[in-house]
Amino acid sequence: MSSPSHVPVLLDRVVSLLAPALERDGAVLVDCTLGLGGHSEAVLARIAAARVVGIDRDPAALELASARLAPYGDRFTGVHAVYDEIPSVLRDLGMSHADGVLFDLGVSSMQLDVRERGFAYAEDAPLDMRMDGTTGPTAADVLNTYDAADLTRVLREYGEEKFARKIAAAIVREREKEPFARSGRLVELLYAEIPAPARRTGGHPAKRTFQALRMEVNDELAVLRRAIPAAIDAIGVGGRVVVESYHSLEDRLVKQAFTAATRSDVPEDLPFVPAGSEPALRLVTRGAEKASPEEIDENPRAASVRLRAIERVRERGAA
């Protein structure tokens, strides 16, 4: 089996955003997308007071990260869960709140670099793409059972694929000859269906379709839509939620949730905000922060990152 590598995106900036919330004794970070544990390891190494609860829906990633973080002893706890389950994870661990919550969204190095998982279009592999390989439909199931309209919707919405309808029709036509099972055959179809001028721009022609299938298989947007409000609810005063997104739909959901959480209920035409009516949360970042050209040169996966952070400044409903 091939081995994964891991270069955390915006590592120093993420740790600096989380640090003010984690520098008190016993402070807890919930790393909702543990992956191979790069961000968690940096927090444990640099912030002596912090503990980390690492969540991952991928048992293989959880096993590797737990081994990596074993030197930190009981300062690290790994949990097999989906990240919209934050409330129950904290409750099961006897914790009333978190001090920091981190999301590093999208596909991880763990999944991309291990060929057998079927996430990467550069290698021929089984069309799986499940982050938790123990449950749920695979990418092959989607390709072989969705009708043309649903395939078009998935490719257009999640992959922003201009040729979604053409590709969907070809998938339906080709699966009648033989069901889809491996990524190589899908890549061949995409090369055949996407016109040559379009193939020469915008990266690999399979990139958008593979992204769309992955997001559909793992129900990523629906999970995120539940998870961000749950994370905001989970943090105490001084706590922060930090999110790295790599897709415009993900970033839009995060932006909308953060905007709603920091909006005042006071009517806009009121000349002042009465004491006790201030929003309970504030934005820490101005807009979405991006990676520097230098980091993108070193780590191409940083090219599309959008980083946002929010902080709770007072208790909900506090006067």
What CATH number is associated with residue 163? 1.10.150.170
Alpha-carbon span 93 to 84, nearest angstrom? 16
Residue 123 lies in a domain: no
- Tell which phi-psi region holds residue 24, choosing left (phi > 0), alpha (psi between -120 and 50) or beta: beta
- On whether residue 304 sits in a domain, the answer given is yes
Cα 87 to Cα 96, 128, 129, 227, 233: the distances in Å are 9, 29, 27, 9, 9
Residue 145 has pLDDT above 90, yes or no: yes
Report if residue 127 sits inside a domain: no
pLDDT for 210 = 92
175 pLDDT above the threshold of 90: yes
Mark which of 195, 217, 239 sits at the end of a domain.
Answer: 217
Please check whether residue 234 lies inside any domain of the structure: yes
What is the residue-averaged pLDDT of the chain? 89
How many structural domains does the chain have? Answer: 2
Question: What was the pLDDT predicted at 131?
Answer: 82
Residue 211 resides in a domain: yes
Confidence category of residue 176, pLDDT binned at 50, 70, 90: very high
Residue 118 confidence class, pLDDT cut points 50, 70, 90: very low
Give 270's DSSP letter: -
pLDDT tens digits along 215-245: 999 999 999 999 999 999 999 999 999 999 9
Percent of the chain with pLDDT over 70: 87
Six-digit token string for 260 = 């709603």
Fill in the DSSP letter of residue 119: -
pLDDT tens-place string over residues 8-49: 999 999 999 999 999 999 999 999 999 999 999 999 999 999
Report yes or no on 182 lying in a domain.
yes
Which residues are annotated as part of the binding site for S-adenosyl-L-methionine? 37-39, 56, 83, 104, 111
Task: Using the 3D structure, point to which of 197, 217, 237 is the last residue of a domain.
Answer: 217
**Same-domain status, 16 and 86:** yes
Q: Which domain holds residue 212?
A: 132-217
Residues 36 and 166 in one domain: no
What pLDDT score does 148 carry?
98
Q: What is the pLDDT of residues 250-275, one digit of tens each?
A: 999 999 999 999 987 655 655 555 55
Same domain, 65 and 99: yes
Q: Binding site: what residues are annotated?
A: 37-39, 56, 83, 104, 111
pLDDT value at residue 237: 97
318 falls within a domain: no
Structural domain ending residue among the three candidates 158, 182, 217: 217
Q: Helix-strand-coil percent breakdown of the chain, rounded to 5? A: 50, 15, 40
Residue 303 lies in a domain: yes
